[in-house]
Amino acid sequence: MAQVHFLCRMSFLNAFGINYALDAFDHDSYDFARCRPRQQQSSGDKFMGVQNSSMGDVALPPTSQRVSNNSTAATSKVQPRVVAATVAGNALEFFDFTTYAFFAVYIGQTFFPADEPLVTVMLSVAVFGVGFITRPLGGLLIGAFADRAGRKPAMLLTIALITVGTIGMALTPSYASIGLAAPIIVIACRLVQGLALGGEVGPSTTYLIEIAPQGRRGLYGSWQLASQGIASLAAGVVGIVLTLALSKEQMLAWGWRIPFLLGLALIPIAVFLRRHMPESLEQPTHSGPIKSPLADIRHHLRPIMLALMVILGVTISTYAAIYMTTYAVTTLKLSATIAMSATIVFGVATWAGALLGGWLSDLYGRKPVMLWARVALFVLVYPAYMLLIEHTSVATLALATALLALLTGIGGAPTLVAIPELFPGHVRALGLSIAYAFGVALFGGTAQLVITWLIKVTDNPAAPAVYVLITSLIAIVGILLMRETGGDKELQK
């Protein structure tokens, strides 16, 4: 009855399926309270600072490796609001960032007018890529900050930065009103948003796996990618409502700004949730010198390089799926309303695929799930595009988008969990931040521009599938060279 009452209080989260994860939280807390892993002090206990009075004289790790007794994370159970805070922050930040991609056609006409429509789209997509330039800087600075000061202050910082960028995007006048100043301001806003997202993924994903009980890190960590799916779903729903309610002229004049204003209004909720999060970073209590994450990360170049190879595949297939909204309008000549349905399908499939992939990786290991999802995508992506091109409809658009997003989510979730598991705690957030931010900046920032260019140069509407095929081969090699980090393996200290 207590568990039922607990889940009812979290009915808001149930809408996104978070109750599934909460069931895992309660189940694992029960097991940890009664079974042998509690006495061996699993990684979940260590990172949450759990102390069991019935442990007797069981040896504890050195004080430099434990969470301080004063840490608010020192509880015996993971609170639902802790996971909700991390998920809400990710969802809101990616909602703001990906809204630009989904409304690229309208934003391009507002800030980058040109005689040829395709040139306008390419300019808009190019500025979307500008937001990736500052991701590596955000990954380096905020990732190192998270490994020194804590995961919580790093995630609060990213929320503040995304707020600044979102205000600018929502309120900047059009090119027709203020001329060249308009695209300059938009570019500046994209740079600030990129800085925020470059530093968000490392600390938030690291936080999720550090609070996770032993054997549940895949499921917990999968909420990183699942929350991005939620953001895409929300952006798609808002987009369809706006395109149905407003005329094309209204959408171009001011309608596309509404999603940015909505995201801005919800940011205080994310800030409130994150301010009340416990800290998961193990703070050293000794008085000796503390290693600098930026100086020590040079000893972990091999896992970073392998991570970049794997992230290449995840990134290209992700942004190929995101581009489906623009692709449907510019290449398939579908209406904006139908095109927006691809956004909703992408969000739902990413959310479901990520949670499924994380859960499967806890059962069978990270590498098998990553590998077979990527192989399946390699085999099916080109036929899916050809089906969409030859039989263009709402159904085939949904099918192609769902295939890309679902398989990417299944393989991508354990990827984002496996990468931080390759690093010790004092460089864990930085290691993932570097691999993710640099990988997404190099490949994600250019993905939609390259896809648009390939379609124009080759005059082949299936060109995006070829790009996914090539990058998937590289990702498969990286997966095979990575070591397995799932199962009962504990996080490195």
Residues 6+ apart with CB under 8 A from 25: 77, 78, 80, 83, 213
What backbone phi and psi angles, to 5 degrees, belong to 117? -55, -40
Please give the Cα distance from 439 to 321 (Å, whole number). Answer: 17
When the pLDDT of each residue in the chain is averaged and rounded to a whole number, the result is 79
**Is 10's pLDDT higher than 60?**
no
**Is 118's pLDDT higher than 70?**
no
The reported pLDDT for the residue numbered 485 is 87
If one compares 67 and 93, the residue with the highest pLDDT of the two is 93
Please give the Cα distance from 433 to 203 (Å, whole number). Answer: 8
Tokens matching residue 282: 């193990």
The reported pLDDT for the residue numbered 116 is 64
**Is 125's pLDDT higher than 70?**
no
Please give the Cα distance from 397 to 393 (Å, whole number). Answer: 6
pLDDT > 90: what percent of the chain? 33
The reported pLDDT for the residue numbered 46 is 39
Cβ-count burial 272-302 (b if 16+ within 10 Å, e if not): ebbeebbbbbbbbeeeeeeeebbebbeebee
pLDDT in tens, 49-81: 333 333 333 333 333 333 333 333 433 456 667
Q: Are 80 and 25 in contact (CB under 8 A)?
A: yes
pLDDT in tens, 373-420: 999 999 999 999 999 999 999 999 999 999 999 999 999 999 999 999
Tokens matching residue 110: 């507002």
- Residue 464 CB-density burial (10 A; 0-12 exposed, 13-18 middle, 19+ buried): buried
Please give the Cα distance from 277 to 150 (Å, whole number). Answer: 11
Is the dihedral angle over the CA atoms 307, 134, 278, 80 positive or is it negative? negative
Please give the Cα distance from 194 to 98 (Å, whole number). Answer: 11
- Residue 116 CB-density burial (10 A; 0-12 exposed, 13-18 middle, 19+ buried): exposed
The reported pLDDT for the residue numbered 11 is 39
Tokens matching residue 116: 């040829």
pLDDT in tens, 195-234: 888 898 899 999 999 888 888 899 999 998 999 898 888 8
If one compares 468 and 22, the residue with the highest pLDDT of the two is 468
The reported pLDDT for the residue numbered 304 is 93
pLDDT in tens, 162-180: 888 888 888 899 888 888 8
If one compares 189 and 359, the residue with the highest pLDDT of the two is 359
pLDDT > 70: what percent of the chain? 79
If one compares 18 and 279, the residue with the highest pLDDT of the two is 279
- Residue 46 CB-density burial (10 A; 0-12 exposed, 13-18 middle, 19+ buried): buried
**Is 333's pLDDT higher than 80?**
yes
CA 424, 426, 428 angle in degrees (round to 5)?
60
Cα of 341 vs its chain's centroid, Å: 21
Please give the Cα distance from 91 to 228 (Å, whole number). Answer: 5
- The CA radius of gyration of the chain, in Å to the nearest whole number, is 22
pLDDT in tens, 235-259: 888 888 888 888 888 888 889 899 9
pLDDT in tens, 344-379: 899 999 999 999 999 999 999 999 999 999 999 999
The reported pLDDT for the residue numbered 289 is 59
How would residue 286 be classed by pLDDT, with cut points 50, 70 and 90?
low
Please give the Cα distance from 339 to 332 (Å, whole number). Answer: 9
How would residue 27 be classed by pLDDT, with cut points 50, 70 and 90?
very low
